């Protein structure tokens, strides 16, 4: 045999006949994997193969020492663990003896090699792993990290969904805890970043190996990839084929790889227009009883009460097999007999009755099944869910759910939460949990948020979050989109849809089931089992999505973005925190540092301007900036201090001249105004230059008015207000303060930690506008 560089032909058959069926993934022999890597433009060591030890000397005659000898074959996965790899070998005539020793070591593990691979040993460098795995929902996912023995020991890896672009690769490498190794530490030589990036793109980029392999693979590991100052080489490689496929003899032709990945919405032949879901001409409720109180009766009563006050209410119809009137609403026997203008039906009957109800829905564009008892309950429920989906397809309706609550749209007269409809707003939400969606709506509205459209989708048997993202992305009334997901069912489509709106529509996502126990809970909730939590983090980073950790953080982020998203402010890390002294300033520094933000330095010119305001006597003019604030202090001092810092600012962004602090967080201790200023509200707030003592609550409102004026005067900054210890003040006064601030476009939070998370959301979205 002679040394080879693999070409577009098949290697000798060293692993037996090609598999045509199997219950598990099929490992491809390493020489064949190396051949595919070369075809994809990935550097591998020069090498040759031999079926037996006595052929190695001839095979290696054209190779340069030092050499590496490896055995390959069934069961040989971690070569170093079973003695299947030897390094630093010299003359080729020694290879046969080493191979015999290797064969004996493998026999002790019950393994028999199919052949041997001898290669030139790569020069030393930083060892990394570059791999890919096929996620059942999201499709191909790329992984990069520290390689060799460090892969399992440290788990220092970063994920991205394929196809990746150059920016994705650079960001993934920068996230590694060991990223400094790539730049050379303690006198080391930096690696060739360009070559390493090109190798990773050749694996997971547009037109790369993963794409050219199609659907025939399940897992790929290049470990280690040795990166040095003059290139990057895939030293070892493993490829697992999907069960039942034939071994590839080559790669499909590569498509040209653009310098930037262009992502667009996924093509869906259904392309449903969901307008009538959120603004139906008529609504039918299935499941209201003529003799007892049921969920159907509850929804029917809610709709009837709301429609009495709605200017253009949808037609309301009840569905009951015998009754003609239920709760004052006309009833028909089945969905087959509802008027032609009924666009939406809510089904709230036992699970085993839902199939027939949906089968009768021909002509109704949308049916939402509230009932549980389907895929979330196990195998029997999953079969019932398949029957439900088949019934929906038979009737030609689009099915939301099952196992969900309904739709909320104040402009369209849609609700599932009870109570009065709020004024329409610009926040939309897609949620797999009806209960959590109701919580976000009601708590959000209590804080002054207004919603455009909310859809709960439960098990997502038919309509998926990806479809709704596409619809809402084109909705002129939706300026901010929230997501609560457990299993999106079509993760790849969701990735493509949120990629398509990056920089245009802010998306905030709360993902349930990211822990092991959470995944078990999700399985019993929506019937879904989602993958590695790192996949969601990868999606968020690639698509500019804000990923939050709880319902409160979701509301906080939606609040911030609703008010600030249209301000021409960049996503830089700087933030100015200003408020009264004490431990709050120290804790503020901790909170914003933990959120990844920087309390930038206040410049010399700004410090001089602050001293002219009387600040700095006995305190430093650092950030967080200490300003005397209370019922007996000037209420305009914070505004004037920030304006002074802003006037001295020299930083610039893509939006033009801005303050050196694109985000300003003003905090105040409500308790101090109550304790030291009294509870009498006194005269109305609004005195612009109030400098002397005032009642505590009047002073608090005066301060808030100045913060509102501050935002008005700084259109290129985002101002945030923190009312610490608000529970110490009368609720009606705190409500007035919050409403006054929000009316001026200033979001209000109860803690510095909550504000830090919200500001981070704003910076994430602003950054996504500039890095697409």
∠266-267-271 over CA atoms, to 5°?
A: 110
Chosen CATH of 422-566 out of 3.40.50.261, 3.40.50.11900, 3.20.20.30, 3.40.50.1100: 3.40.50.261
Instruction: Give the confidence band of 686 by pLDDT, cuts at 50, 70, 90.
Output: very low
CA distances from 455 to 228, 296, 406, 441, 451 (A): 51, 18, 6, 11, 11
| Same-fold call for 273-402 versus 568-770 | yes
Contact 617, 651 (CB under 8 A): no
Residue 38's φ and ψ, nearest 5 degrees, are -60, -40
Q: Taking the mean position of all CA atoms in its chain, how far away is CA 207?
A: 25
Contact 45, 119 (CB under 8 A): yes
| Cβ neighbour number for residue 51 with a 10 Å cutoff | 16
Beta-sheet strand order (sheet of 115-120)? 47-50, 115-120, 67-72, 85-89
CA-based torsion, 750, 755, 761, 762: positive or negative: positive
693: left (phi over 0), alpha (psi -120 to 50) or beta: beta
- Residue 653 predicted with pLDDT over 70: no
Containing 714, the helix (H) or strand (E) segment is none
Selected residue with higher pLDDT from 421 and 140: 140
| Cβ neighbour number for residue 404 with a 10 Å cutoff | 27
Q: According to the model, what pLDDT value does residue 514 have? A: 52
pTM for this prediction: 0.88
Selected residue with higher pLDDT from 269 and 738: 738
Contact 410, 445 (CB under 8 A): no
Q: According to the model, what pLDDT value does residue 259 have? A: 42
Q: According to the model, what pLDDT value does residue 21 have? A: 44
- Residue 12 predicted with pLDDT over 70: no
Give the CATH superfamily of 126-241.
ATP-grasp fold, B domain (3.30.470.20)
Q: According to the model, what pLDDT value does residue 682 have? A: 44
Contact 96, 127 (CB under 8 A): no
- Residue 739 predicted with pLDDT over 60: yes
- Residue 119 predicted with pLDDT over 80: yes
Most confident of 423-432, 519-528, 597-606: 423-432
Chosen CATH of 273-402 out of 3.30.420.40, 3.40.1260.10, 3.40.50.720, 3.40.50.10330: 3.40.50.720
pLDDT, tens digit, 9 for 90 and up, residues 69-103:
999 998 888 888 899 999 999 989 999 999 999 99
CATH architecture of the domain 568-770 equals 3-Layer(aba) Sandwich (3.40)
186: left (phi over 0), alpha (psi -120 to 50) or beta: left
DSSP one-letter string for 192-211:
-HHHHHHHHHHHHBTTSHHH
How far apart CA 488 and CA 13 sit, in angstroms, is: 42
Worst-scoring range by mean pLDDT, 123-132, 158-167, 503-512, 679-688? 679-688
Q: According to the model, what pLDDT value does residue 23 have? A: 63
| Cβ neighbour number for residue 613 with a 10 Å cutoff | 15
DSSP 53: G
| Closest by Cα among 267, 273, 276, 771 to 497 | 267
| Tokens 């493998």, residue located | 106
- The ranges assigned to domains in the chain are 26-39+46-120, 126-241, 273-402, 422-566, 568-770
Residue 255 class from Cβ within 10 Å (0-12 exposed, 13-18 middle, 19+ buried)? exposed
pLDDT, tens digit, 9 for 90 and up, residues 312-347:
889 999 999 999 999 899 999 999 999 999 999 999
Q: What is the 3-state secondary structure (H, E, C) of 303-367?
A: HHHHHHHCCCCCEEEEECCCCCEECCEEEECCHHHCCCCCCEEEECCCHHHHHHHHHCCCCCCEE
How far apart CA 751 and CA 590 sit, in angstroms, is: 13
pLDDT, tens digit, 9 for 90 and up, residues 227-242:
999 999 999 999 999 8
| Cβ neighbour number for residue 141 with a 10 Å cutoff | 25
How far apart CA 367 and CA 326 sit, in angstroms, is: 20
Q: According to the model, what pLDDT value does residue 246 have? A: 85
Q: Which 3 state secondary structure label does DSSP give 116?
A: strand
**Close Cβ partners of 149 (under 8 Å, ≥ 6 residues apart):** none
pLDDT, tens digit, 9 for 90 and up, residues 205-221:
999 999 999 988 999 99
| Closest by Cα among 668, 646, 666, 671 to 657 | 646
Contact 705, 685 (CB under 8 A): yes
Q: According to the model, what pLDDT value does residue 287 have? A: 94
pLDDT, tens digit, 9 for 90 and up, residues 489-529:
889 999 999 999 999 999 999 999 654 444 444 333 333 33
CATH architecture of the domain 26-39+46-120 equals 2-Layer Sandwich (3.30)
Q: What is the mean pLDDT of the chain?
A: 87
- End-to-end CA distance of the chain, in Å? 50
pLDDT, tens digit, 9 for 90 and up, residues 273-302:
999 999 999 999 999 998 888 889 999 998
Angle between helices 166-175 and 193-204 in degrees, nearest 10 = 110
């Amino acid at each position: 045999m002679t040394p080879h560089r693999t070409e577009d032909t098949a290697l000798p058959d060293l692993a037996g006949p090609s598999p045509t069926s199997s219950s598990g993934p099929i490992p491809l022999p390493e020489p064949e994997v190396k051949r595919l890597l070369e075809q994809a433009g990935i550097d591998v060591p020069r090498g040759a193969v031999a079926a037996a030890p006595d052929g190695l000397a001839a095979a290696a005659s054209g190779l340069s020492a030092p050499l590496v000898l490896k055995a390959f074959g069934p069961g040989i996965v971690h070569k170093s663990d079973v003695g299947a790899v030897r390094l630093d070998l010299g003359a080729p005539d020694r290879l046969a003896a080493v191979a015999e020793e290797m064969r004996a070591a493998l026999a002790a593990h019950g393994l028999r090699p199919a052949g041997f691979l001898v290669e030139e040993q790569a020069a030393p460098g930083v060892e990394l792993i570059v791999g890919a795995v096929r996620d059942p929902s999201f499709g191909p996912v790329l992984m990069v990290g520290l390689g060799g023995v460090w892969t399992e020991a440290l788990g220092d890896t970063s994920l991205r969904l394929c196809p990746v672009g150059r920016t994705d690769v650079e960001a993934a490498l920068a996230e590694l805890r060991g990223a400094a190794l790539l730049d050379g530490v303690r006198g080391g030589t930096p690696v060739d970043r360009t070559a390493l990036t090109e190798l990773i793109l050749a694996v997971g980029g547009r037109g790369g190996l993963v794409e050219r392999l199609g659907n025939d693979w399940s897992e790929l590991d290049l470990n280690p990839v040795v990166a040095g100052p003059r290139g990057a080489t895939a030293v070892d490689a493993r490829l697992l084929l999907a069960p039942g496929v034939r071994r590839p003899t080559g790669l499909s032709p590569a498509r040209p790889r653009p310098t930037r990945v262009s992502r667009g919405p996924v093509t869906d032949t259904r392309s449903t227009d969901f307008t009538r879901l959120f603004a139906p001409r008529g609504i039918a409720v299935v499941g209201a009883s003529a003799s007892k109180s049921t969920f159907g009766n509850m929804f029917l009563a809610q709709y009837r009460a709301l429609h009495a006050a709605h200017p253009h209410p949808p037609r309301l119809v009840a569905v009951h097999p015998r009754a003609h009137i239920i709760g004052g609403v006309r009833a028909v026997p089945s969905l087959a007999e509802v008027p032609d203008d009924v666009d939406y039906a809510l089904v709230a009957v036992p699970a085993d009755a839902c199939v027939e109800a949906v089968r009768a829905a021909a002509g109704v564009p949308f049916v939402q099944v509230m009932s549980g008892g389907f895929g979330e309950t196990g195998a029997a429920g999953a079969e019932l869910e398949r029957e439900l989906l088949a019934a929906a397809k038979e009737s030609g309706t689009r099915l939301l759910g099952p196992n969900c609550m309904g739709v909320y749209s104040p402009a369209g007269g849609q609700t599932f939460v009870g109570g009065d409809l709020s004024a329409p707003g610009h926040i939309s939400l897609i949620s797999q949990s009806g209960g959590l969606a109701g919580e976000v709506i009601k708590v959000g509205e209590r804080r002054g948020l207004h919603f455009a459209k909310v859809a709960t989708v439960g098990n997502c048997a038919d309509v998926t979050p990806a479809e709704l993202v596409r619809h809402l992305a084109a909705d002129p009334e939706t300026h901010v989109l929230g997501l609560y997901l457990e299993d999106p069912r079509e993760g790849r489509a969701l990735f493509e849809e949120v990629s398509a709106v990056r920089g245009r529509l802010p998306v905030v996502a709360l993902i349930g089931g990211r822990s092991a126990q959470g995944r078990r809970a999700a399985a019993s909730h929506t019937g879904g089992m989602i993958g590695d939590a790192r996949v969601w983090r990868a999606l968020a980073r690639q698509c500019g999505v804000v990923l939050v950790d709880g319902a409160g953080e979701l509301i906080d982020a939606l609040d911030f973005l609703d008010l600030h998203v249209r301000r021409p402010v960049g996503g830089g890390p700087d933030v100015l925190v200003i408020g009264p002294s004490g431990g709050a300033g120290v804790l503020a520094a901790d909170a914003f540092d933990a959120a990844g933000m920087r309390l930038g330095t206040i410049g010399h010119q700004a410090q001089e301007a602050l001293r002219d305001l009387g600040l700095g006597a006995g305190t430093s003019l650092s950030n967080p900036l200490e300003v005397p604030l209370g019922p007996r202090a000037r209420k305009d001092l914070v505004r004037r201090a920030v304006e002074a810092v802003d006037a001295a600012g020299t930083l610039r962004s893509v939006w033009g001249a801005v303050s050196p602090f694109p985000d300003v967080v003003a905090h105040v201790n409500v308790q101090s105004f109550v304790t030291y200023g009294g509870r009498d509200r006194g005269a109305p707030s609004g005195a612009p230059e109030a400098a002397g003592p005032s009642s505590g609550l009047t002073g608090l409102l005066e301060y808030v008015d100045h913060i509102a004026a501050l935002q008005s005067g700084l259109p290129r900054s985002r101002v945030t207000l923190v009312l610490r210890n608000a529970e110490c003040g009368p609720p009606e006064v705190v409500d007035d303060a919050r409403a006054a601030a929000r009316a001026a476009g200033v979001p209000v939070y109860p803690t510095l930690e909550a504000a830090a998370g919200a500001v981070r959301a704003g910076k994430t979205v602003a950054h996504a506008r500039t890095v697409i």
